[in-house]
Amino acid sequence: MDVMQQLNETVNYLKTRVNNTAKVGIVLGSGLGNLSEVIEIEESIPYGDIPHFPVSTVKGHGGKLIFGKLGGTKVMCMSGRFHYYEGYSAQQVVLPIRVMKMLGVETVLLSNAAGAVNPNYKVGDLMVIKDHISFFTENPLIGKNIESLGTRFPDMSEPYNLELVAKALEIGKANNIELHQGVYTAVTGPTFETHAEYRMIKIIGSDVVGMSTVQECIAAVHCGLKVFAVSVVTDLGIREGNDVITHEEVLHAAKQAEPKLTLLFTELAKSIG
């Protein structure tokens, strides 16, 4: 089916379920679903009920689209996202972002768990994404361009909105939360990287690496949404010793750092609304 037809069906269904005028959309990353507990929920819709929404298959990811208020601001929040490595096409991965746009969202706040290749980062640190490298993943705009969403060749000189970055840094300062700023490189996963791959990812100019976010950012920029994104460092790619990285460790580290992310997103939503 045509992407636009799918989008229209999804949007029309959601309009029958909610009367929400959220300007802020949120996507919660692996192990970062707790934020949904501080949202004053108006409506919570399981992905399985929503036409064309894929169902998240990964442990640590919920599967609900939540409408409500965060910090007094109306939001719609994906508790659980879709990853390319689950077998969804890049276009399916970004469907919810486009749905957000079509429902009136203007700004998206994205979060993810990521591995650090910057040796100054520690597990549990937060990094505000200032730029990304997308070359190792499929660009979600490949295929016939949907002119009603955006242009064929979008500019990517400011993928992450600098005003939102500045606001986040202020919030960090005021609340004693250290925030790095850096470059996120997207990979497909689902394997974690080899030592050689982590080294290469560092050499090409990244600070962290992860399996999400960038396709969503590209689709968001394409359709004119402002993007803010933050990574929670859940493991160290560049490390001494021979330890292994596990999904459980990633989820555990995300959970530990989660309160900082909740505060940051709550304050950002408040300041936007």
The 3-state DSSP class for residue 167 equals: helix
Chain residues 29-68 in contact with ligand HPA, contact rule CB under 6 A: none
State in angstroms the smallest separation of the CB of 218 from ligand HPA.
18
Rounded least distance, CB 20 to ligand HPA, Å: 31
CB 267 within 8 A of CB 71: yes
- Residue from 125, 207, 216, 235 binding ligand HPA (CB under 6 A): 235
Q: Report the nearest approach of ligand HPA to the CB of residue 182 (Å).
A: 14
- How many CA atoms does the CB half-sphere of 175 hold within 13 Å? 18
- Going by C-alpha positions, the residue among 182, 191, 81, 198 that lies closest to residue 132 is 182
Is residue 23 helix, strand or coil? Answer: coil
* CA–CA gap between residue 25 and residue 110 (Å, rounded): 8
168, 268 Cβ separation under 8 angstroms: yes
Which CB atom, from 250 or from 264, has the smaller least distance to ligand HPA? 250
Interaction between residue 229 and ligand HPA (CB under 6 A): no
Is 45:64 a contact under the CB 8 Å cutoff?
A: yes
Rounded to a whole number of angstroms, the minimum distance from the CB of residue 106 to ligand HPA is 28
Binding of ligand HPA at residue 209 (CB under 6 A)?
yes
Is 6 a binding residue for ligand HPA by CB under 6 A? The answer is no
Instruction: Report the alpha-carbon distance of residue 170 to residue 45 in Å, rounded.
Output: 34
Strand 73-79 to strand 208-210: parallel, antiparallel, or no bridges (unpaired)? unpaired
Number of residues forming the site for ligand HPA (CB under 6 A): 15
Q: How far apart are CA 266 and CA 38, in angstroms?
A: 9
For residues 35 and 211, which CB has a smaller minimum distance to ligand HPA in the complex?
A: 211
Residue among 82, 160, 192, 265 that touches ligand HPA (CB under 6 A): 192
The helix/strand/coil state of 177 is: coil
Q: Which is nearer to ligand HPA, 114 or 218 (CB)?
A: 114
Binding-residue pattern over the window 137 to 176 for ligand HPA, x denoting contact by CB under 6 A: ----------------------------------------
Binding mask 87-126 for ligand HPA (x = CB under 6 A): --------------------------xxx-----------
Q: Under the criterion CB under 6 A, does residue 234 sit at the interface with ligand HPA?
A: yes
Can you tell me which of 86, 125, 193, 267 binds ligand HPA, judged by CB under 6 A?
Answer: 193
Q: What residues does 109 pair with on adjacent strands?
A: 26, 228
**No. of helices (H) and no. of strands (E), the chain:** 7, 9
Q: How far is the CB of 10 from ligand HPA (least distance, A)?
A: 28
Instruction: Output the smallest distance, CB 132 to ligand HPA, in A.
Output: 13
CB 145 within 8 A of CB 94: no
Signed CA dihedral, 210, 216, 219, 221: sign only: negative
Looking at beta carbons, which residue is closest to ligand HPA? Answer: 115
**SS3 state of residue 65:** strand
Applying CB under 6 A, which residues contact ligand HPA? 113-115, 187, 189, 192-193, 209-211, 234-235, 237, 245, 250
